[in-house]
Amino acid sequence: MSQTVLVAGGAGYIGSHACLALKQAGYTPVVFDNFSNGHKAFVQWGPCVEGDIRSRVDLDAAFDTYNPIGVMHFAGLIEVGESMKDPLSFHENNVSGAINLIAAAKDAGVQAFVFSSTCATYGEPHDVPMDETHVQKPLNPYGRSKLIIEQVLNDLRELSGFPSVALRFFNAAGADPEARIGEWHEPETHIIPLAFDTALGLRNGFQINGADYETRDGTCVRDYIHVCDIAAAHVKALNYLLGGAKGGAFNLGTGDGTTIKELLDGIHKVTGRPFPVTEGPRRSGDSAMLVADNTKAFEVLGWRPEYSLENIVADAWRWHKTLRQSN
């Protein structure tokens, strides 16, 4: 039997793609999810445990049953805007829940812990592209909640030898090219699926959040990275730790920045369905420009993104049409 990996939040967007990548790499992913945001239809490549990372009883039962060699942690609240409105929920889930999961994994003798962090831990960029030595000063509770867990893992790595990797990914996008899984949030707040819904006539127009930034066309610049590239990096990080490495932090991005207007142009091209776009006020907590320096991930993990922005939009569009046709 193949070695098992517990994937907390494995029924969500990025977690389910990580499960697919784990299966393809010869592991058995065990999904651990409370289905507050995940989807049971996304559990396709291994067993599932319905539980909450805030419950030590739920976690211990899963570890006792499946004896995983590693853990991947995706079970976090992710909406920046919501974190500004309800910071307590973000700290309860993203901090208290994560610490509970880390403690259970450590007590179970797990040999590799891969944490999905975020470029939001950096805050406003001082240098672009940003490398892993960039100062970490988050602009919102979401980013702060992720930074706290990075610091917890740093302490455990240095003081007790608990091996872990924090992957700071930039803007996850795209979908499984075979359209088995993809981006599906309820309610949806992410730019590409919202634009697709506008293209399909399910929304009345599309609003850009801020067009007065100091960028080449006034809109925010983001580093869009295919979800399958992110999933592949998680497997690389797992193998890195299982090979005896202590761990560390790595950026996951392409190194190329795309403005919101450029992204919308690409969406218009792929869908063949232009739609009206208006300009609105800036969104609280947003940075003007977030672009990764991914040199460290390439040199240490041997990871390199394989998908282009056009791939991202095309794969996401294929999935989104499938999703909307089935709902």
Residue 179 lies in a domain: no
- 134 and 209 inside one domain: no
Bridge partners (DSSP) listed for residue 205: none
- Residues 170 and 266 occupy one common structural domain: no
Residue 128 lies in a domain: yes
At residue 285, does pLDDT exceed 80?
no
For residues 220-236, give the mean pLDDT: 97
Q: Is residue 147 part of a domain?
A: yes
Report the pLDDT value the prediction gives residue 187, as an integer from 0 to 100. 82
Q: Assess whether 142 carries a catalytic annotation.
A: yes
Q: What is the pLDDT of residues 31-82, one digit of tens each?
A: 999 999 999 999 999 999 999 999 999 999 999 999 999 999 999 998 887 8
My answer on whether 278 and 312 are in the same domain is yes
Q: Is residue 236 located within the same domain as residue 268?
A: no
Q: Say how far apart CA 179 and CA 111 lie, in whole Å.
A: 33
Using one digit for the tens of pLDDT, what is the confidence trace for 143-159? Answer: 999 999 999 999 999 99
Both 215 and 162 in one domain: the answer is: no
pLDDT value at residue 219: 97
Domain co-membership, 235 together with 217: no
* Residues 153 and 273 occupy one common structural domain: no
Q: Same domain for 147 and 56? A: yes
Domain-embedded: residue 17: yes
Residues 71 and 103 in one domain: yes
Domain co-membership, 147 together with 196: no
Range of the domain at 281: 191-221+256-291+307-326
The confidence score (pLDDT) of residue 287 equals 80
In CATH, what number is assigned to the domain containing residue 321? 3.90.25.10
Whether residue 103 has pLDDT greater than 80: yes
Instruction: Find the catalytic residue in 27, 66, 142, 307.
Output: 142
Query: Which whole number is the average pLDDT over 151-180?
Result: 97
Examine the domain organization and report whether 112 and 238 are in the same domain.
Answer: yes
Same-domain status, 212 and 317:
yes
In this prediction, residue 28 has a pLDDT band, given cuts at 50, 70 and 90, of: very high
| Per-chain mean pLDDT for the chain | 95
Q: Is residue 97 part of a domain?
A: yes
Total tally of structural domains belonging to the chain? 2
pLDDT value at position 286?
78
* CATH number reported for the structural domain that contains residue 85 in this entry: 3.40.50.720
For 292-303, give one letter per residue: b (16+ CB within 10 A) or e: bbbebbeeebeb
